[in-house]
């Protein structure tokens, strides 16, 4: 029996084996009701399906209309974007062999070429820029990122484009075509170049700066290491360039630097390197020494610098000191080569400037000695290692000592007695000269006190040397005033000696300072006269008491007594200006006789006495 029928019979109380008339009626009633219920449910589902169908049709139509509108809007937006980008971008398509299939019309606005002109004139550039794989099909360079290429505009100007390419693959994964987009990046490239130039080139002269020099040297060192090529590094420093800046102004000095840099640059080969590494310091690298005569090349550069330079109606003459280091003999890296060339350059300056010197290993020993002196110098005063020696100044007419010059010595515990030519320049360069100079003045005043105790009647004078740097950075009036007051001296026993280079400073300011010092009754002498830069127009305006004739003029006195016009002129000049004239470096009797004959007042030198220790000098003045 069907389960549904069994279920219905059970609902009317039927027990298996019998079916009464009443139960039969109930069965018909239940079955009929079940049919009606099924009909109602089916009608309900049909109505629901009809409603759903109509709703889906409306929804589909709405979605279809919206999609069509959005697509049209997107297409319009895309076309508007492409139109706006035309001045800055153009697009192209190439086949798998790299030949152009189509190019957007915007190429004319960007590069001036029509579609056909571009394909005719520019296709080869794009084919050369793109790498080929083993199957000779064009692929994107490297990892597919954008890259730049240079192309000529139809008007002749150069444009820089940024290129991006996308391969279009078929179902088999092979390249079917290539889509490309190009963007004009000319302005960005020019901006990058300006920034690069600012970083790598000297703003004043336009040649390489120190940073660019280091980059070029590293590349050269790598290339030469591979090729075993030799090159020379020249360290060039202009002599007395500061004097030009100080007297004529920095604008004149800058123009001179520009002219020299331009002249030297034109004399060099394309593979050589030229850089400015300091105010008046230059590096020249002469590459491939096998192809040039190095000595002739150096002489040519030196002569070029020496030639007269016209700057704003000034005819300027200048020289250079040069140091040369050779690769690989004097160094295999940029630091050692530049250091050794610098050391050789300073050797050129020590030898009198206006020359060149090749680096030698013994120069390094000298540098290490100088470094030790610099390190020891700061504590040498506290340890009382400095002391004064005294060279007598003698009247030519009587050979009587009238004064002396205080000369500093350094009694170094390891190196022994060191003369000033070994450490004064170091003191100048490090600024220690200011502290040392104050000590010399104070110690000289105390020495005068001790000399007065030996002979209170003579009141011998003592001269001290004052460096130009002391005058620039110290209040010399106050320092001298305090020193003579602390010693209880009259200023007329103290004399200061200044070199002629002091005349290169502000003359009005210098005249005022000297006038102040003169008010202390202190004597003022102009040292090494005739070798510096002073002029007659300044001599009678400054508070100068004495002229010291440089040793070079004394050495030039002829043994046969014939006339020395320059020396005679200096002596006559001093007499005319009512100044005492002192000759230094007198070593021979014929020199003393000539000076006496010409009217020189005082001399000093080995003919009478070398510089003496304090006890030796005291003994000398007691005789």
In a domain, 84, yes or no: no
Let me know: does 526 contact 546? Beta carbons within 8 Å: yes
Q: Quick one: 266 and 400 in the same domain?
A: no
Tell me, what's the pLDDT at 135? 38
CA dist 566 and 236 (Å) reads: 34
The DSSP symbol for 549 reads: E
Q: Quick one: 74 and 101 in the same domain?
A: no
Residue with tokens 């013994």: 362
pLDDT in tens, 382-403: 999 999 999 999 999 999 999 9
Would you tell me how many other CB atoms lie within 10 Å of the CB of residue 610?
A: 10
Q: Quick one: 178 and 223 in the same domain?
A: no
Tell me, what's the pLDDT at 605? 96
Q: Quick one: 324 and 473 in the same domain?
A: no
- SS3 at position 561: coil
> By CB neighbour count within 10 A (0-12 exposed, 13-18 middle, 19+ buried), where does 607 fall?
middle
| Averaged pLDDT, 479-508 | 85
Tell me, what's the pLDDT at 161? 87
Q: Quick one: 391 and 342 in the same domain?
A: no
Nearest CA to 527 out of 505, 511, 545, 550 is that of 550
CATH at 129: 3.30.450.20
Task: Place 115 in a pLDDT band, splitting at 50, 70 and 90.
Answer: confident
In a domain, 371, yes or no: no
Nearest CA to 405 out of 422, 420, 418 is that of 420
Nearest CA to 466 out of 429, 442, 440, 447 is that of 440
Q: Quick one: 422 and 498 in the same domain?
A: yes
Last residue of a domain, one of 79, 109, 124: 79
Q: Quick one: 477 and 454 in the same domain?
A: yes
Strand pairing of 401-412 and 386-395?
antiparallel
pLDDT in tens, 349-358: 888 899 999 9
Q: Quick one: 37 and 175 in the same domain?
A: no
Lowest mean pLDDT: which of 18-22, 197-201, 450-454? 18-22
pLDDT in tens, 449-492: 999 998 777 889 999 999 888 888 889 999 999 999 999 998 99
Q: Quick one: 545 and 615 in the same domain?
A: yes
Q: Quick one: 113 and 62 in the same domain?
A: no
**Does 133 score more than 50 pLDDT?**
no
CA dist 79 and 456 (Å) reads: 110
Let me know: does 285 contact 218? Beta carbons within 8 Å: no
CA dist 146 and 188 (Å) reads: 14
Lowest mean pLDDT: which of 30-39, 81-90, 265-274, 321-330? 81-90
**Does 142 score more than 80 pLDDT?**
no
Tell me, what's the pLDDT at 146? 81
| Averaged pLDDT, 169-190 | 84
Tell me, what's the pLDDT at 130? 43
- SS3 at position 166: strand
**Does 269 score more than 90 pLDDT?**
yes
CATH at 244: 3.30.70.270
In a domain, 365, yes or no: no
Would you tell me how many other CB atoms lie within 10 Å of the CB of residue 96?
A: 17
Top-confidence residue, 36 or 421: 421
Q: Which domain holds residue 117?
A: 89-191
**Does 601 score more than 60 pLDDT?**
yes
In a domain, 449, yes or no: yes
**Does 138 score more than 50 pLDDT?**
no
CA dist 493 and 445 (Å) reads: 9
Tell me, what's the pLDDT at 139? 41
12 phi/psi in degrees, rounded to 5: -95, 5
The DSSP symbol for 550 reads: P
Q: How far is CA 444 from the centre of its chain?
A: 43
- SS3 at position 199: helix
In a domain, 196, yes or no: no
**Does 41 score more than 70 pLDDT?**
no
Q: Give DSSP secondary structure letters for 389-440.
A: EEEEEEETTT--EEEEEEEEEEEETTTEEE-GGGTHHHHHHHTHHHHHHHHH
Nearest CA to 161 out of 135, 139, 142, 187 is that of 187
Q: Which residues contact 224 (CB under 8 A, 6 or more apart)?
A: 230, 231, 327, 328
CA dist 574 and 569 (Å) reads: 9
What's the number of domains the chain is made of?
Answer: 4
Last residue of a domain, one of 359, 385, 409: 359
Tell me, what's the pLDDT at 417? 94
Lowest mean pLDDT: which of 60-64, 204-208, 401-405, 575-579? 60-64
Q: What is the pTM of this model?
A: 0.53
| Averaged pLDDT, 240-269 | 93
- SS3 at position 530: coil
pLDDT in tens, 560-591: 878 888 899 999 988 988 899 999 999 999 99
CATH at 468: 3.20.20.450
Tell me, what's the pLDDT at 137? 38
State the average pLDDT for the chain: 83
Q: Quick one: 43 and 174 in the same domain?
A: no
Q: How far apart, in Å, do the first and last CA atoms of the chain sit?
A: 165
Would you tell me how many other CB atoms lie within 10 Å of the CB of residue 324?
A: 24
Top-confidence residue, 323 or 101: 323
Last residue of a domain, one of 44, 79, 114: 79
Residue 280 tokens, joined: 């008046």
CA dist 243 and 396 (Å) reads: 36
Task: Place 442 in a pLDDT band, splitting at 50, 70 and 90.
Answer: very high
In sequence order, the β-bridge partners of residue 75 are none
> How many residues in the chain?
623
609 phi/psi in degrees, rounded to 5: -170, 145
Highest mean pLDDT among 49-63, 268-282, 492-506: 268-282
Task: Place 6 in a pLDDT band, splitting at 50, 70 and 90.
Answer: low
| Averaged pLDDT, 432-442 | 95
In a domain, 185, yes or no: yes
**Does 140 score more than 50 pLDDT?**
no
**Does 303 score more than 90 pLDDT?**
yes
99 phi/psi in degrees, rounded to 5: -90, 140
In a domain, 525, yes or no: yes
CA dist 358 and 322 (Å) reads: 9
Would you tell me how many other CB atoms lie within 10 Å of the CB of residue 523?
A: 22
15 phi/psi in degrees, rounded to 5: -115, 140
Omega of the bond leading into 276 within 30 degrees of 0 (cis): no
**Does 15 score more than 70 pLDDT?**
no
Tell me, what's the pLDDT at 173? 81
In a domain, 367, yes or no: no
C-alpha R_g of the chain: 49
Q: Quick one: 495 and 549 in the same domain?
A: yes
Alpha-helical segments (H) within 96-234: 106-111, 115-129, 186-200, 210-227
In what helix (H) or strand (E) does residue 5 lie, and over which residues does it extend?
helix 3-11
């Amino acid at each position: 029996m069907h389960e549904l029928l069994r279920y219905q019979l059970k609902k009317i109380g039927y027990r298996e084996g019998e079916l009464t008339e009443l139960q039969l009626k109930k069965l018909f009633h239940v079955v009929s009701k079940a049919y009606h219920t099924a009909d109602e449910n089916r009608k309900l589902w049909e109505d629901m399906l009809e409603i759903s169908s109509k709703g889906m049709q409306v929804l589909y139509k709405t979605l279809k209309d919206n999609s069509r509108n959005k697509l049209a809007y997107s297409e319009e937006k895309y076309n508007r974007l492409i139109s706006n980008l035309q001045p800055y971008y153009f697009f192209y398509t190439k086949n798998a062999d790299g030949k152009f299939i189509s190019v957007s019309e915007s190429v004319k606005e960007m590069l001036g070429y029509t579609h056909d002109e571009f394909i005719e004139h520019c296709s080869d550039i794009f084919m050369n820029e793109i790498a080929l794989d083993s199957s000779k099909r064009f692929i994107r360079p490297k990892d597919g990122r954008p890259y730049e290429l240079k192309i000529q505009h139809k008007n002749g100007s150069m444009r820089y484009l940024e290129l991006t390419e996308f391969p279009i693959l078929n179902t088999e994964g092979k390249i079917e075509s290539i889509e490309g987009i190009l963007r004009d990046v000319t302005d960005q490239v020019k901006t990058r170049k300006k920034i690069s130039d600012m970083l790598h080139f000297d703003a004043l002269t336009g040649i390489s700066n120190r940073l660019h020099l280091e980059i070029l040297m590293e590349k050269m060192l790598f290339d030469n290491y591979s090729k075993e090529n030799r090159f020379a590094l020249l360290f060039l420093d202009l002599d007395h360039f500061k004097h030009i800046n100080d007297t004529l102004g920095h604008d004149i000095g800058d123009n001179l630097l520009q002219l020299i840099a331009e002249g030297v640059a034109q004399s060099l080969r394309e593979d050589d390197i030229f850089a400015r590494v300091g105010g008046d310091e230059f590096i020249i690298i002469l590459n491939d020494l096998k192809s040039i005569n190095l000595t002739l090349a150096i002489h040519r550069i030196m002569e070029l610098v020496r030639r007269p330079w016209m700057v704003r109606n000034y005819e300027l003459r200048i020289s250079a000191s040069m140091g040369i280091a050779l690769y690989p003999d004097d160094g295999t890296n940029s630091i050692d080569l530049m250091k050794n060339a610098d050391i050789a350059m300073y050797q050129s300056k020590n030898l009198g400037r206006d020359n060149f010197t090749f680096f030698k290993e013994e120069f390094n020993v000298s540098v290490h000695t100088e470094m030790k002196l610099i390190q020891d110098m700061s504590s040498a005063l506290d340890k009382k290692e400095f002391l004064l020696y005294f060279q007598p100044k003698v009247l030519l007419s009587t050979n009587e000592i009238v004064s002396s010059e205080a000369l500093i010595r350094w009694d170094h515990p390891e190196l022994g007695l060191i003369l000033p030519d070994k450490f004064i320049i170091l003191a100048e360069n490090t600024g220690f000269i200011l502290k040392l100079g104050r000590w010399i003045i104070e110690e000289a005043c105390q020495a005068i006190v001790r000399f007065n105790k030996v002979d209170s009647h003579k009141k011998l004078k003592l001269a001290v040397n004052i460096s130009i740097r002391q005058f620039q950075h110290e209040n010399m009036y106050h320092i001298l005033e305090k020193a003579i007051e602390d010693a209880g001296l009259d200023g007329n026993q103290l004399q200061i000696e200044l070199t002629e280079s002091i005349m290169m400073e502000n003359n009005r300011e210098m005249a005022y300072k000297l006038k102040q010092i003169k008010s202390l009754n202190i004597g003022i002498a102009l040292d090494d006269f005739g070798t510096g830069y002073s002029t007659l127009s300044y001599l009678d305006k400054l508070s100068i008491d004495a002229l010291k004739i440089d040793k070079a003029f004394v050495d030039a006195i002829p043994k046969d007594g014939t006339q020395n016009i320059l020396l005679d002129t200096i002596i006559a000049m001093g007499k005319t200006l009512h100044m005492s004239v002192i000759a230094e470096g007198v070593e021979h009797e014929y020199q003393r006789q000539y000076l006496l004959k010409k009217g020189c007042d005082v001399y000093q030198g080995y003919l009478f006495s070398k510089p003496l220790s304090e006890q030796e000098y005291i003994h000398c003045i007691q005789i």
